[in-house]
């Protein structure tokens, strides 16, 4: 049950990222009728822009986005969206627009070309250093990188649903250098507990985990905290502490932010597409470009706008992704292409060209990936395979679902059938 709920939270968080990316694919497919293979590379560009901006913010400007100026993160989000949307516009204008009347195969090949171009430019530009650490080693490069990097935190590492069991003051023990809690505590269940205390160092209030034991805060059932080895009394004597019980299914602030931002953007998109004149123009284009042009719609402008909208959504996803997975791979790494592929599969499974379908598909694909990993491994072990086999086959499950859906319902779950005309 615990595993199931944990997988569910991951699915919802990652699913909303897939959904954001899938929306980009579906929007472009809706009006232009081709897969924008460069979409995942726009996403990579966004992730590395976020990384670069975060480094500049923390290293150069000395702003810690996890602390007081909370708008630091918002600034990075807006910057990422601006960069990606600009690049997206340029791609549409100079690579795709001249091919609007060309066969789809040519556009597809161009899209692959753009994707390869972005990947390899990104790898090469990793040599341009923007920020360095104290020893002069580069911490950020323009605009991507060629080696894997780790993202500085933009959000505090908070678990939202943990319970504070007790608060008090640490009493300094004079004998044997022990620090005692002001009340005895006994752990009765198997959950994780940790103790936090507030300390004023270098003038700024900081929350910090007090490592009570060498094993940093995981206490088995029945542990009496009073018997655990302690820090030196001078260090923590008299500090207020709180004993916090971690939940069985932790809900991280990161996950909540991801889901909240994603859902806000999806609702905004829904409003834009179904309630505004511009949205009506987009829908008209996706129905029939020639007729839409006859009705006085500025086809080029609306297509450009749709493209920019799609890349902006990818940029938002690219901002959210490194919050959850701080390890960023080099731009041409297969993990990015796989991510883009999964999002595309989500769009296809939901019914490409259908906005709600893309969202549904995003959550569905994430579910298949994570629940497949959870239960696939158990299934394979029970069949006598070695542990870990079921986990490493996650991508296989996703592609199998794609093939299955395409064979059974070629237009996707929510897609409308397309009549073929001679």
Partner 1 sequence: MPSALDATTNAQLRRPNLPLITLPWLACALLGLAMLMLGRFLGSYQETLMQQVGIFAIAAVSLNIVNGLAGQFSMGHAGFMAVGAYVAAATTYYGSLLHFNTAELQPGLFNFGHVLMLIGLLAGALVAAALGYLVGLPSLRLRGDYLAIVTLGFGEIVRVLLQQTSPQVNGKDPAEIAAFTDAPLRTLARIPLNGALGFEGVPAYATNLWIWTFVGITCLAAYRIKESSSGRAFLSIREDEIAARAMGINLTKYKVRAFVLAAFFAGIAGGLLAHAGVTTSPIDAGFQRSFEIIIVVVLGGLGSISGAVLAAIVFVLLPQVLHPIKDYRLVIFALLLISMMLLRPKGLFGVREIWNILPRRAAHTKPGATP
Applying CB under 8 A, the span of 29-37, 198-206, 227-235, 316-324 interacting with partner 1 comes to 29-37
The answer to whether 344 contacts partner 1 (rule: CB under 8 A) is yes
- Choose among 97, 80, 78: nearest CA to 36: 97
Indicate left, alpha or beta for 271 from its phi (over 0: left) and psi (-120 to 50: alpha): alpha
Q: How far is the CB of 380 from partner 1 (least distance, A)?
A: 10
The answer to whether 403 contacts partner 1 (rule: CB under 8 A) is yes
- Choose among 240, 246, 239, 214: nearest CA to 228: 214
Please identify, using beta-carbon distances, which residue of 40 and 80 lies nearer to partner 1.
40
Residues 6+ apart with CB under 8 A from 133: 59, 139
Applying CB under 8 A, the span of 70-78, 79-87, 195-203, 405-413 interacting with partner 1 comes to 405-413
Q: How far apart are CA 255 and CA 191, in angstroms?
A: 21
Please identify, using beta-carbon distances, which residue of 263 and 389 lies nearer to partner 1.
389
The answer to whether 419 contacts partner 1 (rule: CB under 8 A) is no
Q: How far apart are CA 3 and CA 172, in angstroms?
A: 40
**Phi, then psi, of 64 in degrees rounded to 5:** -105, 105
The answer to whether 325 contacts partner 1 (rule: CB under 8 A) is no
**Phi, then psi, of 278 in degrees rounded to 5:** -60, -45
Binders of partner 1 in range 79-108 (CB under 8 A) = 95, 98-99, 101-108
The answer to whether 399 contacts partner 1 (rule: CB under 8 A) is yes
Three-state DSSP state, 159: strand
The answer to whether 395 contacts partner 1 (rule: CB under 8 A) is yes
Q: Residue 360, class by beta-carbon neighbours within 10 Å (0-12 exposed, 13-18 middle, 19+ buried)?
A: buried
Q: How far is the CB of 95 from partner 1 (least distance, A)?
A: 6
Binding test (CB under 8 A) with partner 1, winner from 20, 79, 114, 374: 114
The answer to whether 259 contacts partner 1 (rule: CB under 8 A) is no
Q: How far apart are CA 258 and CA 264, in angstroms?
A: 10
Q: How far is the CB of 399 from partner 1 (least distance, A)?
A: 4
How far, CA to CA in Å, does 206 sit from each of 70, 156, 261? Answer: 16, 11, 27
Binders of partner 1 in range 352-381 (CB under 8 A) = none
Q: How far is the CB of 82 from partner 1 (least distance, A)?
A: 24
The answer to whether 22 contacts partner 1 (rule: CB under 8 A) is no
Three-state DSSP state, 196: strand
Residues in the site for partner 1, rule: CB under 8 A? 29, 34-35, 95, 98-99, 101-110, 112-114, 116-117, 119-121, 124, 332, 334, 337-338, 341, 344-345, 348, 389, 392-393, 395-396, 399-400, 402-403, 406-407, 410, 420, 422
């Amino acid at each position: 049950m615990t595993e199931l709920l944990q997988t569910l939270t991951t699915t919802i968080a990652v699913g909303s990222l897939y959904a954001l990316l899938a929306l980009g694919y579906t929007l472009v497919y809706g009006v232009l009728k081709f897969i924008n293979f460069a979409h995942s590379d726009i996403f990579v560009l966004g992730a590395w822009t976020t990384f670069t901006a975060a480094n500049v913010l923390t290293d150069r400007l000395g702003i810690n986005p996890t602390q007081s100026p909370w708008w630091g993160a918002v600034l990075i989000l807006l910057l990422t969206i601006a960069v990606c949307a600009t690049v997206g516009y340029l791609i549409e204008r100079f690579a795709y627009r001249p091919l609007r009347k060309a066969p789809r195969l040519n556009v597809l090949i161009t899209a692959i070309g753009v994707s390869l171009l972005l990947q390899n430019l990104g790898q090469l530009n990793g040599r341009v250093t923007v920020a360095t650490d104290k020893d002069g080693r580069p911490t950020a490069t323009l605009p991507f990188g060629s080696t894997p990097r780790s993202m500085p935190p933009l959000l505090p590492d908070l678990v939202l649903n943990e319970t504070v069991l007790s608060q008090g003051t640490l009493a300094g023990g004079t004998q044997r250098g022990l620090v005692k809690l002001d009340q005895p505590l006994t752990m009765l269940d198997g959950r994780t507990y940790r103790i936090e205390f507030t300390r004023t160092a270098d003038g700024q209030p900081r929350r910090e985990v007090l490592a009570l034991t060498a094993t940093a805060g995981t206490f088995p059932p029945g542990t009496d905290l009073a018997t655990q080895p302690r820090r030196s009394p001078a260090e923590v004597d008299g500090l207020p502490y709180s004993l916090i019980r971690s939940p069985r299914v932790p809900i991280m602030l990161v996950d909540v932010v991801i889901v909240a931002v994603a859902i806000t953007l999806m609702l905004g998109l829904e409003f834009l597409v179904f309630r505004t004149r511009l949205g009506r123009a987009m829908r008209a284009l996706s129905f029939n470009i020639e007729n839409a042009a006859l009705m006085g719609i500025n086809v080029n402008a609306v297509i450009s706008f749709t493209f920019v909208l799609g890349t902006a959504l990818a940029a938002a996803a690219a901002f959210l992704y490194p919050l959850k997975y701080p390890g960023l791979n080099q731009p041409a790494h297969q993990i990015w292409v796989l991510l883009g592929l999964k999002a595309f599969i989500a769009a296809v499974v939901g019914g490409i060209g259908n906005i709600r379908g893309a969202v549904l598909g995003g959550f569905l694909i994430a579910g298949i990936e994570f629940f497949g990993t959870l239960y696939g491994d158990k299934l394979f072990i029970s069949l006598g395979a070695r542990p870990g086999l079921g986990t490493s086959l996650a991508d296989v499950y996703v592609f199998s679902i794609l093939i299955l859906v395409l064979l059974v319902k070629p237009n996707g779950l929510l897609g409308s059938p397309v009549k073929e005309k001679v």
